Amino acid sequence: MLNLKTISAAFVAGAAFASAQCTIPTEPLSDDIPSHFRIQVQNATRLEVHNKYMNLFEAGGGDQHLFIGPVGEPTYDFTLVDGVVFNVRKNIRLVIGGEWSEIDHTTKLFSTARPDPDAIFQPTYACNPDTGLLQIELRFIQWEGEPLGGHICVRHSFDGSHEFRYDPPGNTLIDVNRECIKVTLVVLPTPDGGPSTTFSTVTVSSTSSSSVAPPSSSSTSTSTSTSTSTAPTSTSTSGVLPYTDMTSLGWRYIGCAPEERWTTDGAFRTLSGALLGSDTMTNEACMAFCGANGWAYAGTEWRRECWCGNSYAPTRQPLTTLVSLDKCDYRCSGDSGQFCGGDAWLSLYAKCPTGGPCENAVFT
Question: Do both 183 and 218 map to the same domain?
Answer: no
What letter would DSSP give residue 148?
Answer: B
| DSSP-H helix ranges across 102-164 | none
Name the domain count of the chain: 2
Strand partners, 252: 350
Looking at per-residue pLDDT, the higher value among 127 and 259 belongs to: 127
Phi, psi of 203 (to 5 degrees): -120, 125
Q: Over 70: is that where the pLDDT of 141 sits?
A: yes
Last residue of a domain, one of 189, 222, 248: 189
DSSP annotation string for 254-288: EEEEE-GGG-SS-S--SS-SEEEE-TT--HHHHHH
Last residue of a domain, one of 189, 218, 250: 189
Strand partners, 136: 125, 187
Identify the pLDDT of residue 4: 52
In a domain? residue 194: no
Digit-coded pLDDT (tens) for 18-69: 435 799 999 999 999 999 999 999 999 999 999 999 999 987 667 899 999 8
Q: What confidence category does residue 160 fall into, taking pLDDT thresholds of 50, 70 and 90?
A: confident
| Domain of residue 136, residue span | 4-189
Question: Do both 24 and 171 map to the same domain?
Answer: yes
Tell me, what CATH number does 105's domain have?
2.80.10
3-state secondary structure of 16: helix
pTM for the whole thing?
Answer: 0.57
Identity at 128, one-letter amino acid code: N
